[in-house]
Amino acid sequence: MHEKKQVGTLYMNDFQTKREFAALFSQNMNRHQPMNLYFLNDHGFNIAQKDPEYNEVLNRADYLLNDGIGIKLGAKLWGIRLRENLNGTDLIPVLLDQCARNHWSVYLLGAAPKVVRAAAQKLSEKHTHLHIAGIHDGYFDSDEQIIAEINQSGADVLLVGMGMPLQEKFIDRNTHALAPLVRIAVGGFFDFASETKPRAPKLMRRLNLEWLFRMALEPQRMWKRNVVGHAQFFAKVLWLKWSSRH
């Protein structure tokens, strides 16, 4: 396991490129090493400050990768240099290509029924030979029934797209019951993969402005998360850094 580095109350990884993490993913799969993989952005960091249980869940991740410009700058304040943005929406397709090539099957759990169905369709078209072992929407009452379905599917990799903090908590509390070797919390990935929601143009993504694009699409939901959330995040990261020194 790679050593994690402290950013305030959380411990995260500092892989520099998607390629570097993808190599480790394959290596772990080949060695049958189980892993829970989550992504940290400033919204998740803010939730963790108010929800100590979620903070612990994130710290139990085998890998916690950086998502977005906020966490990159916040990490820098704690002396951690991060190069590429490893957000799920860009990294998952790289991992799915590896799954297709190595015949590792995938289960999709999350989003509304028609969104996850469309996501499965589009992903099978995009990643030739990808075996999708099963799908289920993210609105259910009983963990047991879903876990039984996932395990019966024989999937090697489980993608859980139910938003923060629900998805990470689902994975964490069911770690020992879930048969897939790898469980990844993928946020809104199925919304994008199904093309239900458009992604920001490449240039905006390269300039780390995807958050601005998402805010233009969903101003009411994203305004608070982005503008107020970014301010809260930096205030907290700076405060934690200052108090750790005094």
CB of 8 closer than 8 Å to CB of 78: yes
Length, in residues, of the chain: 246
Phi, psi angle pair for 8, to nearest 5°: 60, -120
**Residues 74 to 113 in contact with ligand UDP, rule: CB under 6 A:** 110-112
- Which listed residue (70, 74, 138, 229) binds ligand UDP by CB under 6 A? 138
Q: Is 70 in the site for ligand UDP (CB under 6 A)?
A: no
Instruction: Figure out which of the listed residues 21, 190, 211, 233 binds ligand UDP, where binding follows CB under 6 A.
Output: 190
| CA–CA separation, 162 and 141 (whole Å) | 13
- Which listed residue (8, 68, 70, 161) binds ligand UDP by CB under 6 A? 161
Per-residue CA distances from 170 to 37, 89, 162, 174, 175 (Å): 13, 20, 9, 6, 8
Binders of ligand UDP: how many residues, by CB under 6 A? 14
Q: Which residue type does 3 have?
A: E
Residue 150 near ligand UDP by CB under 6 A: no
What span, in angstroms and rounded, lies between the C-alpha atoms of 26 and 98?
Answer: 7
Per CB under 6 A, 68 contacts ligand UDP: no
Q: State which residue, 29 or 95, has the beta carbon closest to ligand UDP.
A: 95
Which parts of this chain interact with ligand UDP (CB under 6 A)?
A: 110-112, 138-139, 161-164, 166, 187-188, 190-191
